Amino acid sequence: MARARSEAEVETRPDLPLKPGTRIGILGGTFDPVHAGHLRVARAAVERLALDTLLFIPALLNPLKQGEAVTAFLHRLAMLDLAVANQPGLFVSAMEGKRTPPSYTVDTVRELRQRLGARVELFLLVGMDAFQEVEGWKDSAELAQMVSLAVFPRPPYGLGDLAVVMQRAFPFYHYDIGQQAWLAAVGSGRIIPLDLPVLDLSATRIRSQVRSGVDLTGQVPSGVAQYIVAHSLYGAARP
38 binds ligand ATP (CB under 6 A): yes
Convert 134-175 into a string of H (helix), E (strand) and C (coil).
Answer: HHHCCCHHHHHHHCEEEEECECCECHHHHHHHHHHHCCCEEE
Shorter beta-carbon distance to ligand ATP: residue 151 or 181: 151
Distance CA 10, CA 198 (A): 30
Could you say whether residue 199 binds ligand ATP (CB under 6 A)? yes
Q: How far is the CB of 172 from ligand ATP (least distance, A)?
A: 24
- Tell me if 30 contacts ligand ATP by CB under 6 A: yes
Q: Which is nearer to ligand ATP, 39 or 181 (CB)?
A: 39
Whether 162 and 151 have beta carbons less than 8 Å apart is answered as yes
Identify which range of 1-9, 85-93, 101-109, 202-210 contacts ligand ATP by CB under 6 A: 202-210
Binding ligand ATP (rule: CB under 6 A), the pick from 31, 73, 104, 137 is 31
The phi-psi region of residue 58 (left if phi > 0; otherwise alpha if psi is between -120 and 50; otherwise beta) is beta
Interface positions with ligand ATP (CB under 6 A) = 29-32, 37-38, 41, 126-127, 129-130, 154, 198-199, 201-204
